[in-house]
Amino acid sequence: MNEDSAVWSDAYSVGMTEIDDQHKELVKMTNDLFISSSEGGFAADKAFLQTAKKASDYARVHFSFEEDILKKAAYPEFDAHKKQHTDFLETVLKSVQEFESGKMAGIEMARFLKKWLLNHIAVCDKHYASFLGKI
């Protein structure tokens, strides 16, 4: 495990097994980015980009799943939460472009993803979980 790796803790649980499992998968994918970014070379760069694409595709599916639940529950902060998801995906796309053009190191992108993901789960997702009465 890389020293930068994200570590899942039950403290991140939102009390919904399917969402927690999706969050755990996103944490795993973030850790995969740390691994591929530390290897260096063309093959590692290619693996990093493949992992980044897979992670962003998975994040889209997860965000859609989460947003469906929040919309059905009439979550009062739905629009702001959805905007965070949209802004994040736009930032990831920009970061991938910067990585491809050599303006951003893979490790830098992986660190950003880890920080955003864990903060989003610990703060924003916990907030909706509280609203839904799950925690």
Please report, for the domain that includes residue 106, its CATH number.
1.20.120.50
pLDDT tens string 1-11: 667 889 999 99
Rounded Cα gap, residues 90 and 99, in angstroms: 14
- Whether residue 114 lies inside any domain: the answer is yes
Evaluate whether residue 8 is within a structural domain: no
Nearby residues of 23 by Cβ (< 8 Å), 6 or more positions away: 8, 12, 14, 62, 117, 121, 125
Q: Given this model, what pLDDT does residue 75 score?
A: 97
User: For residue range 51-63, what is the model confidence (pLDDT) as tens digits?
Assistant: 889 999 999 999 9
- Determine the pLDDT at residue 135: 64
Residue 76 lies in a domain: yes
pLDDT at residue 46 tops 70:
yes
Burial state string for 79-105 with b = 16 or more CB within 10 A and e = fewer than 16: eebbeebeebeeebeebbeebeeeebe
* Residue among 108, 125, 114, 113 nearest 6 (CA): 114
Over residues 12-32, the pLDDT tens digits come to: 999 999 999 999 999 999 999
Please tell me the total count of domains within the chain: 1
C-alpha angle 90-29-91 in degrees, rounded to nearest 5: 10
- Identify whether 70 is part of a domain: yes
Q: What is the pTM of this model?
A: 0.90
CA gap 74, 107 in Å, rounded: 38
Q: What is the mean pLDDT of residues 41-67?
A: 89
State the residue range of the domain holding 60.
Answer: 16-131
Residues 6 or more apart from 32 whose CB is under 8 A from it?
51, 55
DSSP-assigned letter for residue 10: G
pLDDT for 131: 92
Question: Has residue 57 been placed in a domain?
Answer: yes
Asked if the structure places residue 94 within a domain, the reply is: yes
CA separation for the pair 129, 26 (Å, rounded): 18
